[in-house]
Structure 1
């Protein structure tokens, strides 16, 4: 997630470098062609690029709204995951009591691992990295054989709760409440996976880019009598605004792509770990914020 107070210009313009180079080429080529064919080309009224600019603004507004709605849905899902993870451990502690601290710790550590595993799964990274200290070797080996490791860990916790019920450590009502929490976690996982696997139509972006380049061409022709030293920077400046908004919307529409604009799922999983360790009465390491970066993951 981008931190608004520290976004460098190199990032903002770095994500649209290719598009600006294309605009520069198209603008210069159009200006050169317009000067060579000045007696043939009809006068291009400014109303035409103005109309295209208005159309681009409407399309960008629609795309930004859709992309942010998708990003915000992903953020709400992970907020629910954080709440349900804490609720699960509070419920387990309440229903089982301190005399079963070993079983509680096992469930709590597995839930911590689940948050990291789910986040890395959504980002298509090494799913089981750095969780060996949280789950047993047998569970780690079994998880490595599964196609959906987060689902396996939830299933393991569910089976764990069933075993506790059979051993009379949990009563029927406690078991039902805990299973409801597991179901909510599963629902949240499925919602996050749906967002991750649903692709926006690429044709929308292609059409939008084409209209922006057409805008550059028509504006360059409309201003054919104006000095190139003014027109070319103007073309770059206006198109930079369009492309920057489009690129931001493009990044927001995929909130789990391991980019600076992602929903900070690793940070949320880390918060869940700190909170769960606090519930267990363990020391939680204090981390100094990294002032060198302009985003959190």
Structure 2
């Protein structure tokens, strides 16, 4: 995710980092060059004048805008739901560690619960990104817990089980009152819900046919658009085609980028930063040393993954 102070209106016109312009530049240049060639030949192909005007493009453009609006709204809803789920992970993690520190009696080892919760956060991030969590697990957990979690196919679920085992063990040993157990289970249930919600978003993309329809329609529209404009605006055709094509190409690219919010694109969620923040707040509650946190300059745009 790009994190930066909002530039003024003039600098905003030339921002590249965090925009989708570098991704769509090849097709945008190609369509603009095609429009320039069509302007030079005045809409003729092999001595045949393509009989188009702006009317069909106005009708198709309205329909295309509706489709793009639906696609982008759906993609943003997935992005925002993913962010909400990670906010729930933060809240439930704080609640779980707080209760472990305040409701359990001496000898309960609440730091074990805290570390298993921290390991869950990192394991969830790695599962969503299909990366290896072993280094984070070995850094956070003791060797036995790290080996057990690493051996699981669904490591976040295993770590939630291990956290619940801490509750059960202390309940049986009398260090937690039975009346307090539902509160622990509620926080663990919130973490389970967040895990399932993130897995659902990661495993269920927007139906592919929407992408196909929008993609084909956008390219056909932008390729034919110069034929409908050249008789009305003449030499300005390439400029107008470039502007309209930029709008459609950029909206399609943005929707595709935020549809999968757990990746490494500039506008995806900053899972690394959120995981570090959750670890720091839980370690602070446990009274443990905080891991170092990179602090970028305030005036410089940076990519937080």
TM-score by shorter chain over 0.5: yes
- Please say if residues 26 and 216 of structure 1, whose CA atoms lie closer than 8 Å, have aligned partners that are also in contact: no
Distance verdict in 2 for CA 1:18–1:207, change over 3 Å: farther
196, 211, 219: which one aligns with 2:225: 219
Residue 35 of structure 1 corresponds to 44
Residues in 2 aligned to 1:29 and 1:147: alpha-carbon distance in whole angstroms: 56
What's the TM-score once normalised by structure 1's chain length?
Answer: 0.89
Residue 100 of structure 1 corresponds to 107
Find out whether 1:179 has 2:185 as its counterpart: yes
Find out whether 1:138 has 2:149 as its counterpart: no
Residue 168 of structure 1 corresponds to 174
Question: Matches of residues 144-163 of structure 1 in structure 2 within 5 Å?
Answer: 144-163=150-169
Shift of 1:244: 0.8
- Please say if residues 35 and 224 of structure 1, whose CA atoms lie closer than 8 Å, have aligned partners that are also in contact: no
Residue 22 of structure 2 corresponds to 14
Residues in 2 aligned to 1:38 and 1:216: alpha-carbon distance in whole angstroms: 22
Residue 88 of structure 1 corresponds to 96
Residues in 1 aligned to 2:234 and 2:278: alpha-carbon distance in whole angstroms: 57
Distance verdict in 2 for CA 1:11–1:184, change over 3 Å: closer
Residues in 2 aligned to 1:259 and 1:39: alpha-carbon distance in whole angstroms: 45
Residues in 2 aligned to 1:154 and 1:233: alpha-carbon distance in whole angstroms: 57
Find out whether 1:3 has 2:31 as its counterpart: no
Per-residue CA deviations over 1:63-105 (Å, capped at 9, x if unaligned) read 11111111111111111110000000111111114x337x111
Residues in 1 aligned to 2:200 and 2:222: alpha-carbon distance in whole angstroms: 37
Shift of 1:38: 5.4
- Please say if residues 252 and 261 of structure 1, whose CA atoms lie closer than 8 Å, have aligned partners that are also in contact: yes
Question: Matches of residues 243-254 of structure 1 in structure 2 within 5 Å?
Answer: 243-254=249-260
What's the TM-score once normalised by structure 2's chain length?
Answer: 0.86
- Please say if residues 88 and 181 of structure 1, whose CA atoms lie closer than 8 Å, have aligned partners that are also in contact: yes
- Please say if residues 76 and 255 of structure 2, whose CA atoms lie closer than 8 Å, have aligned partners that are also in contact: yes
Distance verdict in 2 for CA 1:188–1:40, change over 3 Å: closer
Distance verdict in 2 for CA 1:216–1:92, change over 3 Å: same
Residues in 1 aligned to 2:226 and 2:273: alpha-carbon distance in whole angstroms: 46
User: Which stretch has the larger CA shift, 126-135 or 4-13?
Assistant: 4-13
Distance verdict in 2 for CA 1:24–1:69, change over 3 Å: same
Distance verdict in 2 for CA 1:229–1:181, change over 3 Å: same
Per-residue CA deviations over 1:31-87 (Å, capped at 9, x if unaligned) read 559334555433x22112122222221111111111111111111111111000000
Per-residue CA deviations over 1:159-202 (Å, capped at 9, x if unaligned) read 12211111111121222321222122111111111111002122
User: Which stretch has the larger CA shift, 115-124 or 217-226?
Assistant: 217-226
Structure 1: 5+ residue stretches without partners:
none
C-alpha RMSD of the superposition: 2.5
Residue 264 of structure 1 corresponds to 270
Residues in 1 aligned to 2:169 and 2:76: alpha-carbon distance in whole angstroms: 43
Residue 302 of structure 2 corresponds to 294
- SS where residue 134 of structure 2 aligns? coil
47, 72, 97: which one aligns with 2:80: 72
Residue 67 of structure 2 corresponds to 59
User: Which stretch has the larger CA shift, 58-67 or 23-32?
Assistant: 23-32
